Amino acid sequence: MKTRMEFAVGGMHCGSCGLLIDDEVEELPGVSTSATDVRKERTVVHLAAAVPAERIIAAIAEAGYTAVLVRG
Interacting residues with Cu ion (CB under 5 A) = 13-14, 16-17
| Minimum CB–partner distance for residue 18 and Cu ion (Å) | 8
Residues 6+ apart with CB under 8 A from 6: 42, 43, 44, 45, 69, 70, 71, 72
Helix (H) or strand (E) holding 9: strand 4-10
Q: Give the C-alpha separation, 10 to 56, whole Å.
A: 14
Nearer to Cu ion, 16 or 32 (CB): 16
| Minimum CB–partner distance for residue 49 and Cu ion (Å) | 29
Nearer to Cu ion, 1 or 14 (CB): 14
Nearer to Cu ion, 16 or 66 (CB): 16
